[in-house]
Structure 1
């Protein structure tokens, strides 16, 4: 059976969990935390930095969330997350990269700054990340469709968008408009809602304090 290594509250692990649920793939979830040292050790061997997620399927080992999603696209019975049409596939992969690079990473920089020791924090770093988020919010608001991120069906772009927008709105609220409406729609989607619910017990881990919503 496929094994997925990660943590239910980790944003990049969300991406592959959403894909697995959407594709109806059977898997064993291997929790990576101090209570499971064997999984921590395995994760260090699977990833250059020991950062999850990772997938193991027999002798196949895959790290990096987007590569894992593409692997999952070849198992399971549900519609694929990489469109068969080359132009549609390019659009989905492009938006996936945008959500990763311009929503996910700036959000994580804001969170990471709050974890720095007193005296080592620099308010310029989160301020710069917030500017990046504002630019990305505006750009994406003109491009997300009125259904899913890249059209009428769910794609890899939505797997990236859901966790990125979920946490980004916690640290730097998304203005009212198309992107915020899309966030609400994707969080209500069955496979995404399942991942959100599975992560609820861990919300106390959020360094900036989890808001009483979502």
Structure 2
């Protein structure tokens, strides 16, 4: 029986397991969660405590949260190199960098996007200022750490890069990486050139009109 991934191609956190699925050559069925597929929306509400995607279903096993889905794939599916290194020390580095991209790039980026989706009277200008400041701090923290690296951790493509790809893709749309952070910009470009990442970018391309701040004419 083929495993099923529930989500939407434009959703940033859905990109993470999609990248891992493509990296590890896993056969799966993608189940679109949108108003045109109410049965998938209803199922997603059962799979996640908040109804937020992604979620993976493998027979009687149900896995929610993007990082948990990636680790589940490492354990049970695919023929490629595991996204979480087997060496505990390397695994710690990969998970740490994953948390950095999730918490300090992805989260403030989504705060800015979420604010744009609110009605005028419900917007939080101070929250946006704080989110942009956090992105600036994290860009500056990442810059020296990426100057001598091809990938984010462990000398190879890992779960950290699965997290970095959507985080940096969309973050650079809402709060561009400054020119003086050349290493970070080059890392983002390497991510987008990776076949698994390029595939998810292309699959999401038809939905760019959904982006509330206006998708830039690039990438």
**TM-score greater than 0.5 by the shorter chain:** yes
How many angstroms does 1:122 deviate by?
2.5
How many angstroms does 1:207 deviate by?
0.4
Q: 1:181 aligns with which of 180, 186, 211?
A: 186
Over 2 Å off, 4+ runs: none
Alignment correspondent of 1:72: 73
5+ long unaligned stretches in structure 2: none
State the Cα deviation string for residues 13-32 of structure 1 (Å, max 9, x = none).
Answer: 00010010001100000000
What is the rounded CA distance, in whole Å, between the counterparts of 1:5 and 1:140 in structure 2? 31
Contact 2:109 2:131 in 1 (8 A): yes
Alignment correspondent of 1:146: 149
Alignment correspondent of 1:117: 119
Alignment correspondent of 2:205: 200
Q: 2:97 aligns with which of 95, 98, 121?
A: 95
What is the rounded CA distance, in whole Å, between the counterparts of 1:195 and 1:47 in structure 2? 23
5+ long unaligned stretches in structure 1: none
What is the rounded CA distance, in whole Å, between the counterparts of 2:119 and 2:178 in structure 1? 31
**TM-score, normalised with respect to structure 1:** 0.98
What is the rounded CA distance, in whole Å, between the counterparts of 2:34 and 2:14 in structure 1? 13
Task: Show the 5 A alignment for 1:123-138.
Answer: 123-138=125-140
What is the rounded CA distance, in whole Å, between the counterparts of 1:120 and 1:189 in structure 2? 39
How many angstroms does 1:123 deviate by?
1.3
Q: Which moved more, 1:79-88 or 1:96-105?
A: 79-88
Alignment correspondent of 2:175: 172
Structure 1 position 158 matched with structure 2 position 153: no
Alignment correspondent of 1:17: 18
What is the rounded CA distance, in whole Å, between the counterparts of 2:152 and 2:101 in structure 1? 10
- Residues matched between the structures, number: 214
State the Cα deviation string for residues 26-58 of structure 1 (Å, max 9, x = none).
Answer: 000000000000000000000000000000000
What is the rounded CA distance, in whole Å, between the counterparts of 1:94 and 1:112 in structure 2? 25
What is the rounded CA distance, in whole Å, between the counterparts of 2:111 and 2:79 in structure 1? 37
What is the rounded CA distance, in whole Å, between the counterparts of 1:146 and 1:213 in structure 2? 25
What is the rounded CA distance, in whole Å, between the counterparts of 1:211 and 1:6 in structure 2? 23
Alignment correspondent of 2:31: 30
What is the rounded CA distance, in whole Å, between the counterparts of 1:66 and 1:18 in structure 2? 12
Alignment correspondent of 2:9: 8
How many angstroms does 1:140 deviate by?
1.1
State the Cα deviation string for residues 143-193 of structure 1 (Å, max 9, x = none).
Answer: 235211113311000000000000000000012311111000011101000
